[in-house]
Structure 1
Amino acid sequence: MAIRARRMLAALTTAVAMSAVSIATPAVAADKKAVISQAFQSMLYLPLYVAIDGGFFTKEGLDVTKQTAGSPSAALSAVLSGSADFSLHGPEWTAVAAEKGADVDVIANVVNGAAVWIVASPDSKFSSIKDVKGQTVVSGQMPTTSTSLFFKLMKENGMSPADVKLSQVPLGSEIGPLVAGQSRIAVMYEPGADQAVAKGMKVVIGFPKLYGEYAFSAISAKRSVDPDVAARFVKGMEQALVFMQNNPTETLAIARREFPGLDPEVVNAAVKRMLNEGVYPKNVDITPKALTVAMDTQISLGNLKQQPKYTTFIEQNYIHQALAAK
């Protein structure tokens, strides 16, 4: 667990070093093309898929190619090395890189809620987080935000990780031990939460409602990114987010096409939950509060030394252009 985290941070540090010695000249867009490197193919990133599949980037005269890196650090490293124009992952990775001297910042919101839920077996008596004490709890392997938020919530309620028997498993496999009865409680992302609900489990805590605005996932870019390409990209994302709020039926159809291997009803339920609970933002803006709440989690875990300066870390220029273009 600790070794894996160190390896990921080491890879990111190497990429930062490579970025620092590169020639800081703006990338030139050939025929207005752009590459985005996403950490994973994730339902959280649905706004990006809507922007692509719904033709919103095309409307802005931008041909976007999506690549999947396999981890947040690898996605950001693609931007730092110049093999991608943009990356999509938690903004904490960008904050860590910027703190180490990389010329990167955040240019648009994608996920604005703490998209984590605690799910329990149907016969579990659960009235508050304190009911997890002494229980076996399944959660994703660190480093991951779901487990980090679980630790944060326990700490806020006078508890520590030692108060539970934590079983860390690969992300996406949390449902297995829960359904098998090896645990009565699991900490999950979507679509895992609604896959569990479909099997009779119940959602007992929703972190989006607990924490409100939370900069969970965002678009990052180097400061030397082609400004015209970046402006077009953020405008495309803005149109996609507005579309999602106003056209839930069409949004669900895009989600089902993007995740054909999942039960369509689970996809529908997961997307509806995230729309209803404000996980998908209404626009590309990131407020100071959303950034502060998210970065406080990373500071408390020791991943970040201090809050990034909002006015320089969040590139407002592209956001303002996108909001003004409505």
Structure 2
Amino acid sequence: MKKTAIVSLFLFLLIIPLAACNQQANKEIKKVRVAEVTRSIFYAPQYVAIAKGFFKEEGLHVELATTWGGDKTMTTLLSGGADIALVGSETSIYVYSQGTNDPVINFAQLTQTDGTFLVSREKIENFTWDQLKGSTFLGQRKGGMPQMVGEFVLKKHGIDPHKDVKLIQNVDFANIANAFASGTGDFVQLFEPTASIFEQEGKGYIIASFGTESGHVPYTTFMTKQSFIRNNKDTIEKFTRAIYRAQQWVESHNAAEIAQAIQPYFKDTDLSIIEKVVDRYKSQGTYATNPILDKEEWNNLQNIMSEAGELPKHIDHKTLVDNSFAEKAMAK
């Protein structure tokens, strides 16, 4: 009887510190609400960071929500519905230009090229950009990065997007692919995996990459309000470190391995399509290999916005970009 009591007491004493450790571990997990502008293979490193446990190892639990559109994503961030937003850097410029005491700061870059492709209705063996002249071009939303890059590339090739083509840009982002499939337009600007799926189904043919044509830009970055950074520096540091680890993982692994890792986030897309899209993005250097958003990319972004007539005013790199967390993550 005494022996049983001693054993029970020993087990009880053993359980107490274990329970305390578990409680302490739970307290150290920090929830971070992230609003992504859309769900896209374009953002593969983000899903790798979640799937491979890089955020978890930093003591972060990422609660990911897809907010479908730059305006909605920024509204969610500004209203306190998210801690961090993954969206185009141009949105931070729009917010700052409207006047704010709490500007939105870009702290980690995820993608460094445009992610759209030019898709034709008919198969074209030897495509040249002047073949767009006189055609109907189904573009993206006015004021958004895809549309601004599209116009920038057309002008680069001597095409006036408002005179040389019939430009359609009043179709909602979510309905552009359906509009093209239904017969609207000779050419369309599409993201992946829709472009590859259309090609597979014979609905269209990928003939050019806007990302390759436009060069490096801070196309999609993680950003947050200045006040959040001020009050949560440790969280931003950990978040950026996890993203950098994911970027390095993506850089060092092949398309098949990356596709396998992110497949749970694209359950309705065939693994072969995911792999094809990842390979296409990797081959054109779309995924940033580190979170630094440099001055050259920032200025290229504003040049593209200016060409499209959408730049409210020029904003210095240091005003809306904070590379300190990226630099610290890379140093470690």
Q: What TM-score, normalized by structure 1, do the two folds share?
A: 0.83
SS in 2 for 1:215: coil
Question: Is the radius of gyration larger for structure 1 or structure 2?
Answer: 2
Equivalent residues of 1:107, 1:315 under 8 A apart: yes
Within a 5 Å distance, the mapping from 1:293-304 to structure 2 comes to 293-304=300-311
User: In the alignment, is residue 231 of structure 1 matched against residue 237 of structure 2?
Assistant: yes
User: In the alignment, is residue 220 of structure 1 matched against residue 223 of structure 2?
Assistant: yes
Residue deviations 1:262-313, cap 9 Å, x none?
2322222111111111111111111211111122222333332233211232
Q: Distance in 1 between matches of 2:129 and 2:298?
A: 25
Equivalent residues of 1:39, 1:69 under 8 A apart: yes
Partner of 1:164: 165
Equivalent residues of 1:198, 1:266 under 8 A apart: no
RMSD: 2.2
Q: Distance in 1 between matches of 2:243 and 2:282?
A: 16
Partner of 1:72: 70
User: In the alignment, is residue 265 of structure 1 matched against residue 272 of structure 2?
Assistant: yes
Equivalent residues of 2:107, 2:321 under 8 A apart: yes
Partner of 2:81: 83
Deviates more, 1:168-177 or 1:288-297: 168-177
Equivalent residues of 1:98, 1:105 under 8 A apart: no
Q: What TM-score, normalized by structure 2, do the two folds share?
A: 0.82
* Uncovered stretches (5+) of structure 1, i.e. residues with no partner: 1-28
Q: Distance in 2 between matches of 1:269 and 1:144?
A: 26
Report sequence identity in percent: 21
Question: Structure 1 pair 59/308, CA: closer, same or farther in 2 (3 Å)?
Answer: same
Deviates more, 1:184-193 or 1:86-95: 184-193
Provide the aligned length of Structure 1 versus Structure 2.
297
Within a 5 Å distance, the mapping from 1:1-326 to structure 2 comes to 31-99=29-97, 100-101=99-100, 102-124=102-124, 127-156=127-156, 157-168=158-169, 169-176=171-178, 178-179=180-181, 182-200=184-202, 201-224=204-227, 225=229, 226-248=232-254, 249-325=256-332
Partner of 1:14: none
Q: Distance in 2 between matches of 1:288 and 1:194?
A: 33
Q: Distance in 1 between matches of 2:246 and 2:118?
A: 29
SS in 2 for 1:163: coil
SS in 1 for 2:219: strand
* Uncovered stretches (5+) of structure 2, i.e. residues with no partner: 1-26
The alpha carbon displacement at 1:252 in A equals 0.6
Residue deviations 1:183-221, cap 9 Å, x none?
432211111221122134432221222122111000001
The alpha carbon displacement at 1:247 in A equals 1.9
Q: Distance in 1 between matches of 2:132 and 2:123?
A: 14
